[in-house]
Chain A
Amino acid sequence: MIEFRDVDKWFGSLHVLKRINLKVSGGEVVVVCGPSGSGKSTLIRCVNRLESIQSGEIIVDGQSLLDPKFDPSKLRTDVGMVFQSFNLYPHMTVLQNITLAPTKVKGLAAGEAEKVAKELLDRVGIPDKAGVYPANLSGGQQQRVAIARALAMKPKIMLFDEPTSALDPEMINEVLEVMTDLAHDGMTMVVVTHEMGFARRVAHRVVFMDEGQIIEEGKPETFFGAPQSPRAQQFLGKILSH
């Protein structure tokens, strides 16, 4: 579904991704973790072309992002993304946030889009918030709307960029539950997160990055049980100690 082949990326002189090779198959849930500044966010932002790469190749759903005929908007209808800062449209209601892209991009009729939106709100557990503006929702509710907004395009892949980092602790679980449901429904997911409990329970594979490189990858039980590299051991030691 997603394949990175020898990908390199620089921000100016800063080498943020170094020779990345990674494959994610359909239906797989991959958690990317690592210390801050390790390049994990940049990695998933490359998948939907929010970042461009300087060398190597990325293939998403059988299509190379380097293809001259490649259309980023088209790709993004198949790849949903959820951000750390929710990024709901503040001037629109929850319902309008969710129906915007389906009506404007896919040309769905308004009634049809609203029906889909209401089903999705039901699915993320806030069916009663359709007419509310984002500012009147809690962080956890906002993030669930953001997930519903991404799902409204019926994507094949979902990218999560630290979806719970900006949330108060008591709201983290409500978002993780939605993500877990999604994983159980067979969605292909790449999740950047520090929620190791989620990784252990839901991920098929854990990828550990540091300084722009993939240091280690493996099944959660192997990674958390017996990390191979000293850097992964050190990282896990730090975040699991509390």
Chain B
Amino acid sequence: MTYNFDWSVLWRGQSGLWLLQGLVTTIEISVVAWVVAFTLGIFSGAVRTVSITPLRWLASFYVEFFRNVPLLVWMFFWYFAVPPLLPQPLQDWLFDHGAEFWAGVVALGVYHGARFSEVMRSGIQSIPKTLFEAAVSTGLTMAQAYRLIIIPIALRLIIPPATNESLNLIKNSSVALTIGVAELTFQTRQIETYTAKAFEALTAGTLIYLVLCLAIATTMSQLEKRFAIPGMITKRQTGEF
């Protein structure tokens, strides 16, 4: 008995179109969720390093609560548990306009926001505290010092771990198929159903994810070079910064 590979199933019929649609949906959900995650992460990560205790406590609560519950649970939470709390007309409107997509966005965004937050926090904490003191010593307010000095520096420092998190987000977007979002993994399964060719469909999906992630990793490393702080690397080696 042998398994007969038949790669032509990937371009026969609608398979190619489905893969493309899946890829587009994966990119859409990932990009929107990334914006949510990044914004939440920067903000809450920065807040976790300030000296205002209630704010810091709130941000810590957000991070610990959201990153310590599995993403799958959050998908179900935002899709099944939240809509019933909304007024009926709004519920119907949502269900008619891709509620599963938005539930997926919120689940991914809030979950990865908590993880971005940790990346941001450790980035900020690797900046010497005296730099912040120097900034406020010139009369900048705490908010200004963060906005103009601390966060721009931290953003440059966290590019490698943030790239990692971004790739995780893309890969995790496949969990959204559990609430019916027709993203890339969903479409590879669809091809499998129609053609009963599991290995070919999965291989196609795998390669598309791989290419997508490699493209992003490459772009991010370009970005890292482009925005590198002059002399930072040598400085870090001598342990001065």
Contact = CB atoms under 8 A, between A and B. Distances in A.
A10 to B, nearest CB: 17
B148 A135 contact: no
Contacts of A48: 137
Nearest to B153: A91
Contacts of B144: 104-105
A117 to B, nearest CB: 13
Nearest to B132: A87
Interface stretch (A78-86, A118-126, A189-197): A78-86
Contact of A87 (B131, B156, B229, B232): B131
B140 to A, nearest CB: 6
A2 interface: no
B230 interface: yes
Nearest to B230: A133
Given A50-B137, A90-B229, A100 B148 contact: yes
Interface in A6-29: none
A184 interface: no
Q: Is the interface of A mostly helix, strand, loop or mixed?
A: mixed
Contacts of A79: 137
B141 interface: yes
Q: Is the interface of B mostly helix, strand, loop or mixed?
A: helix
B134 A87 contact: yes
B196 interface: no
Contacts of A81: 134, 137
A136 B141 CA distance: 28
Interface stretch (A59-67, A69-77, A229-237): A69-77
Chain B, interface size: which category? Answer: 20 to 34
B156 A85 contact: no
A77 B139 contact: yes
Contacts of B232: 90, 135
Contact of B141 (A73, A88, A133): A73
Contacts of B136: 50, 72-73, 76
Contacts of A205: none
Contacts of A89: 131, 135, 149, 153
Contacts of A133: 229-231
Interface in A197-214: none
Contact of B137 (A85, A90, A136, A150): A150
A149 interface: yes
9 closest Cβ contacts across the A-B interface? A135-B231, A87-B134, A77-B139, A101-B138, A133-B230, A81-B137, A105-B139, A76-B139, A90-B229
